[in-house]
Amino acid sequence: MPQRWNLAPEERAQMMQIQDRLIELFVDRDELASGGDHHRADELQVEIDELMRQLDDIKSSADAAAISLDPSRVPAAPD
């Protein structure tokens, strides 16, 4: 089951914008790599990595906010 994040409308909008841009970048990167322009494809990969980090930051922030509101949501420690 996919995890759901309790996001503010601004955060949801930001995530959607990032996801839309990621789709564009993945397509462009694959086209460039297929065409042999590996240098430019690598440059796009750097941008992809940064956007993925931003998505993770938004999700982590939402998780931290949810835990602060409901401490029972803290993950159990591994055995």
Q: How confident is the model at residue 6 (pLDDT cuts 50, 70, 90)?
A: confident
* Measured distance CA(65)–CA(5) in Å, rounded: 10
- Assigned domain for 45 exists: yes
CA dihedral 63, 66, 67, 73 (to 10 degrees): -90
Q: Residues 26-44: pLDDT tens digits?
A: 999 999 999 999 999 999 9
Six token digits for residue 34: 């297929």
- Assigned domain for 25 exists: yes
Six token digits for residue 3: 């995890």
Which residue range forms the structural domain that includes residue 43?
12-68
- Assigned domain for 2 exists: no
- Assigned domain for 32 exists: yes
- Assigned domain for 3 exists: no
- Assigned domain for 55 exists: yes
pLDDT over threshold 50, residue 72? yes
- The structural domain count of the chain equals 1
- Assigned domain for 7 exists: no
**What DSSP assignment string belongs to 27-59?**
HHHHHHHHTT-HHHHHHHHHHHHHHHHHHHHHH
CB of 75 closer than 8 Å to CB of 20:
no
